[in-house]
Amino acid sequence: MDPEIKLFVGTISFEDLEGGYWALTDEKNNEKYMVRDISEELKKENLRIAAIGQEFSNEMSIYMVSKVVKLIQYRILK
């Protein structure tokens, strides 16, 4: 299945699982997405962003989370 492109508005957090990863919790539905290849600029706890990203629903990984997103464009919000 091809990745789905979505608009996200949410907050960044660090998840201390399987060695750790950065996640984005979408305010729309409170869903937590693991962020793939997150930029250094976004690696800040509680950072609020708006972003367009590809959601991967078939990702196999060591993290074993439900949802994975790769951000295409983002903007940091106040």
Partner 1 sequence: MKRSVVNFIFKNKQILLIIPALFLLFIILTIRSCISDRSDSFEFDKSAELLVDLKDKDQVDKLEDLLKKYNAKVLQAFPQVQDADITELDDYYTVDVEDQSVVAKIIDEINNSGLADEVEYNETYKLSPIEQKTEESDENSNFKLNSLNDPFVSKLWGFELMDIDNLSSEIVSAKPKKKAKIFILDTGIDADHEDISDNYVSLSKKYDEDTGLHGTHCAGIAGAVSNNKKGIASLNFTGDFTSITSITVLPGGFGTQEAIIDGIILAADNGADVISMSLGGPSSDKRQRAYEQAIEYANKKGAIIVVAAGNANENALKHVPASCKGVITVSAVDKSLNKASFSNTVEDIELKVAAPGVNIFSTTPNDEYKSLNGTSMATPYVSGLIGLMKSFKPKLTTAEAYRILNSTGIDTKDTRKTGKFIQPYVALSKILR
Q: Which positions lie near partner 1, rule CB under 8 A? A: 2-3, 5-7, 9-11, 13, 15-19, 25, 27-28, 30, 36-37, 45-46, 50, 52, 54, 57-66, 72-73, 75, 77-78
Q: How far is the CB of 14 from partner 1 (least distance, A)?
A: 9
Specify whether the CB–CB gap between 53 and 38 falls below 8 A.
no
Q: How far is the CB of 65 from partner 1 (least distance, A)?
A: 5
Q: How far is the CB of 78 from partner 1 (least distance, A)?
A: 5
Query: Nearest-CA neighbor of 48 among 6, 7, 13?
Result: 13
| CA distances (Å), origin 42, targets 1, 25, 35, 64 | 28, 13, 10, 22
